[in-house]
Each structure stands twice: as structure tokens, then as C-alpha cells.
Amino acid sequence: MNTETLEITGMTCDACARHVERALRNVPGVHTAEVSYPQGTARVIAASVLQANALAGAVAAAGYGAIRQETARSAAPRPERSSETLRRIGGGAADGQSLRIAVVGSGGGAMAAALKAAEGGAAVTLIERGTIGGTCVNVGCVPSKILIQAAHIAHLRRESPFDAGVSAAPVAVDRPALLAQQQRRVEELRRDKYERVLAQKSTITVIQGHARFHDKHSLTVSASDGGERQVPFDRCLIATGASPAVPPIPGLADTPYWTSTDALASDHIPQRLAVIGSSVVAVELAQAYARLGSAVTILARSTLFFREDPAIGAAIEEAFGAEGLTVLTHTQATQVSYEGGEFLLVTNRGQVRADRLLVATGRTPNTGDLNLETIGITRDARGAIIVDDHLRTSAPNVFAAGDCTDRPQFVYVAAAAGTRAAINMMGGEAILDLATMPAVVFTDPQVATVGLSEADAHGRNVETDSRTVPLDVVPRALVNFETRGFIKLVAEAGSGRLLGVQVVAPHAGEIIQTAALAIRAGMTVHELADQLFPYLTMVEGLKLAAQTFTKDVRQLSCCAG
């Protein structure tokens, strides 16, 4: 029999020890595994010599770290672990030293990776050239959702489905006061969730400066004062995010146009706002500014959400039209000028004039100044770093996560990728599986999707059977007097296996995770229809949509099972 003794990091209770035991026992060849939370050790007995990386990967995949003591060749563990020479599983560092991991960036993916690597015992150097926290907390998710919620409140005070019984009131928007409130919360979250967290981790060193690759095992970091330093590493994670893309429209560069960053930081509401773009950022900010008082015109090169089920774009366009937004589909600006405080956009459908212009046509990966060519990292046509499902780049010891890669640009995807990249940098085999990745657009009504659309399924040669229910059959939507939108289920023909869900509804984002779990579990629409859902919730709409595969739900009584 052969015995391995490991030190386990990251455990906080006996339940953690049981999780590690189960993970180790599932490794092929393991006869038994005993884990002690008080001692922080694991004793693994196997019939043959085990691969250290297999044990490390199993522990890492369970969410913990493993440090290997020298292999014992008998069934009895060595009594004094302090006398053992420790070696970080995964290699790359000298014996007796921690694995050195460099993380370039400090956003969601970078932070997740740095914390996970530090938890596993690595010595982490995090390098940030700008503001700690990256896009999401500073100029993305957090401030945009605050602005959207403020606009929602303004809209409800101006009008609601209950105006007949609850009188509306004139709305006065104090944008400087809203902006101050927004920035206070941004600064609070950046301080509490990023700066303080990093300050409390003794194994994470933070360097302010611009990093670029010197060679395959070191970075050159240029500080703002002009000084430079070398940062050696055994493994490196690139998590530099992305920046607003600017299309090459003649004249645009010579005007004071807004990006999403500018729109979120503006202290005034323009009387007229033109928006170039048709996807998430464009539509969210367009509706928010319209509800705060701007006359908004959206220029969409194709249709709204042209990559999604066509019904989604049609539903949002109808909702926007009801609120007074102008949506110009199949419209492109061919010239932009600015004179006398006014923008003039020449388009294939005539001229558009506005006081402010928001350009929201996507985001470009921040990879152009990292000297990636030096270490042979491959990028796609957009400049995004190409990674595999383990977050590995084309350079053997370099990983990447977040918006700088070719994966979907969502902060929760970045964070999941960062965690898994850290596990893999320390010898694990964690995979980023995006098969059931939910996505939410925070318009009103919201848009939420997961899995395959009908077009996606057909593109994979999968025959589908789909059902769409309007919200006027969902009891909660009826009692809210908010019946704009629909719920659509896409199932595999014959088996009824749920493949995808598209929702346009108030609180669609609160519905979609249930759908994601159902797809992950391999449920059929018939199994979904048979589940218990609480009455008078929006998520009950999933059950009703599933029931439509076998019956007419309009003929059911309330909460019929």
C-alpha cells in the first residue's frame, strides 16, 4: 500500500473536511482517505503510486488547496508533519517555496483568481494600472444598475398601472444628487469588496503600474513615476478587461461623444440623446435616460438584440415605443459632426440631431499593450485572447480570464473563470462550462435567456418543439397589471428535454436561474410541468409554459397542478 499525506488549506469546519474526503475518495486508485479539520491534513491510502496532480486537482475542484508532504512508502503516516519538506503541487516553484502567481488586472476575474490562489498557498502579485476593482464596480454593473433603478423609480412616480387609484406626481430629477449617491455606493463597494479584502491578504502583493511581458516567466511593470521593476512568476493570469469600442464613423472622433463610462458619470440629463447601438449597454442606458427626462433616439444597425430570438427585439421595441423612445432599425450613421452644442448624424434614413451622443457598440479587449507577441499568445480578430475550457492560453504557463478573452463578457463569467484558472494554475483540472450560462438585460421589461434558442438548436441539427406563453396567462403578471412580454421554452423534439428558455418580463432575471438549473439537471418539460411552484410568483410562468406542451393553460383554474 502507498500513502500520501497532504496539508489542506481553505477548510473552515468539519463539513469542509468531509467535502475533501469525498473528493479524494473519487480519485481512481484511492483506497481510503481520512481528512482532519483540526490538524489540516489528509491521509490518502492507495494500492499503487498516485499522481500528485490527480490528488491536487480533486482537492482544488472541491474548492480547497493541497500541499503535499514527501511521499510515504508505508501504510503508517509520519508523525511530525513539521519535519517534512513541503512542495506545492503543480510545480514551477523551487522546493520549499510557494508557487509564484502574477495576476494582471483587479476586476472580477482577477480578484477571484488572486483570492483562490492565495487560499491555496500561492504567493500572488496583483498588478493594476488604473483603479482597483476594474469595470464592474467602478464604471459598469454597479453604477449602471443604480442609474437604471433611479430611472425606474422616476418612471413609476410619473406613471404606473395603478394610476386610477394611486395618483401620479410630477417628477423633478436632480441628476447631480443622484450621481453623488451613485458614486458613494461605488466607492463603498470598491473599498469593502476590493481594497480592504486585498489589504487583509498577506500573501497578495498589490503593485500599481502598467504590466507587459518581458519573457515567458517575468513581467516588466512601469509605474506612473517612470520607474520600472521586474515581476517574476511561475504562472500568470491575464485579466485586463475591455474598453468601450468606437466604430470608425467619419467625423465621430472629432466630437465630444459619450461612451458608457461618460454616460454613467454625467451630472446632467440632455434634452435630446442619440444612441448608436442595439445590444445590452445601448438599450439599458437609452431607457434609463429616457425615464430621467431625455428624448431618446436609438440607431440600430439591424434590429434590437439581433443575435437573439427575433421576438425579444420586437417585444422591447414595442415597450420602448410605448414609453416614447424612437427606435430606428436598419439604420447606420455615415457621418457625425458637432457644432454649436448640437450633434448632427447623417444616416441612411435621414438626419438625426441631438444634444448628446452615446456610442455603445460593444467592448474591445484590453490586450494591445501587453507585449503578448513576445510569449506567443494567440488572439482573435477582435484582439481577444483565445483560451480553452481550462482558461489556458497558447503560452503554457499563462492563463486568461474575463472580458479580455474570447468568452462572454459578463462579470460572473469572469469571476468563475478566474477561480477555475487559479485552480488550474496550481495543478487542478477545473473546467469553465458555459452550457447553462444565464444572461440578463436590465431593461423594463427585462430580458433573460439561458441555453439554446430555436435557431441555435437547428444550427446544431437538433429538432425542436417549442412553446411561447404571453404574460397574460401568468397570474402574478395579471395581478401586477404588467403583462408585457412572454416566456418561451425550447425543447428537444421527441424526448421533451429542455434545451433553452427566453423570457421577456418584469423580473425576468429572477426567473432565469430556475430555468438554468432545470437545464443543468437534464429535466424534460414534462418534469418541469410537474414541479411545485409557489402561486403568484413570476417564476410560476415556467411551469405554465411547460404545461402548454400537453394542455391549454387558459382552461386551467388558478394554481392548477
- Answer whether 0.85 is exceeded by the pTM: no
CA distance 336 to 36: 67
Note the pLDDT of residue 73.
34
Q: Is the model's pLDDT at 97 over the cut of 90?
A: no
- 59 and 51 Cβ atoms separated by less than 8 Å: no
Note the pLDDT of residue 103.
98
Note the pLDDT of residue 392.
98
> Which architecture does CATH list for 2-88?
2-Layer Sandwich (3.30)
Q: Helix or strand or coil: residue 131?
A: coil
Torsion of the alpha carbons at 450, 451, 457 and 463, rounded to the nearest 10: -100
What are phi and psi for residue 377, nearest 5 degrees?
-85, 130
Q: Is the model's pLDDT at 397 over the cut of 50?
A: yes
Question: What value does the mean pLDDT take over residues 358-386?
Answer: 97
Closest CA to 426 of 118, 6, 96, 103: 118
- 504 and 511 Cβ atoms separated by less than 8 Å: no
Least confident of 219-223, 385-389, 425-429, 554-558: 554-558
Q: Helix or strand or coil: residue 553?
A: helix
Note the pLDDT of residue 115.
98
Q: Is the model's pLDDT at 373 over the cut of 50?
A: yes
Closest CA to 343 of 328, 358, 330, 331: 358
CA distance 515 to 159: 32
C-alpha cell at position 510: 429572477
Class of domain 94-245+362-434: alpha beta
Equal fold, 94-245+362-434 vs 252-361 = yes
Closest CA to 313 of 494, 485, 94: 485
Question: What value does the mean pLDDT take over residues 105-132?
Answer: 97
Domain limits, the chain = 2-88, 94-245+362-434, 252-361, 439-555
Note the pLDDT of residue 51.
65
Q: Is the model's pLDDT at 77 over the cut of 70?
A: no
Per the prediction, the chain carries an average pLDDT of 92
Note the pLDDT of residue 11.
72
Question: What value does the mean pLDDT take over residues 30-38?
Answer: 85
Note the pLDDT of residue 12.
62
What percent of the chain stands above pLDDT 70? 93
- 377 and 406 Cβ atoms separated by less than 8 Å: no
Question: What value does the mean pLDDT take over residues 168-179?
Answer: 96
Listing from the earlier edge strand, what are the strands of the sheet with 342-347?
333-339, 342-347, 350-354
Note the pLDDT of residue 76.
38
What type of residue is 307? R
> Which architecture does CATH list for 439-555?
2-Layer Sandwich (3.30)
Catalytic residue list: 11, 13, 16, 64, 136, 141, 558-559
Reported as a single tens digit per residue, the pLDDT across 141-173 is: 999 999 999 999 999 999 999 999 999 999 999
Q: Is the model's pLDDT at 559 over the cut of 80?
A: no
Q: Name the residue with higher pLDDT: 56 or 376.
A: 376
Note the pLDDT of residue 52.
67
Note the pLDDT of residue 224.
78
Least confident of 5-14, 308-317, 457-466: 5-14
C-alpha cell at position 379: 488572439
CA distance 512 to 98: 41
C-alpha cell at position 179: 450621481
**CATH for the 252-361 domain, from 3.40.50.300, 3.30.930.10, 3.50.50.60, 3.40.190.10:** 3.50.50.60
Q: Is the model's pLDDT at 27 over the cut of 80?
A: yes
CA distance 333 to 350: 9
Alpha helices for 296-384 (secondary structure H) = 310-322
